[in-house]
Amino acid sequence: MKMAFFRPNKLNEMMNEIFQTKNTSNYCEVEYSEKLETDAILTYSEDGRLVSEQPLTDALSAISNALNIPVTKYDVIEVGDFGDGFAFFA
């Protein structure tokens, strides 16, 4: 079993690269969505207005491609000095 661990800020950077929002005025953040009741990729406009919410599980295929491993699931875990973050498992 393989695991990739990302602190929230690094995961946000990766999501922005995956969804290619760095070249636009929109940006992504991974947070808990009250509306969806799960971890989600929230896309915001430049003025901070919420544009869309997508469950993080819907992005596992895109994350797999970015990491070059077949991600099948994820969990939020605490890793020693690194603190809380997202662990993706293959």
pLDDT digit string, tens, across residues 13-61: 999 988 875 557 788 999 999 999 999 999 998 899 999 999 999 999 9
Task: Please report, for residues 41, 53, 79, the alpha-carbon distance to residue 36 in angstroms, rounded to integers and kept in the order given.
Answer: 11, 8, 26
pTM confidence score: 0.85
CA–CA dist 7, 81 (Å, integer): 11
* Boundaries of every domain in the chain: 3-89
What is the structure's pLDDT at 30?
A: 96
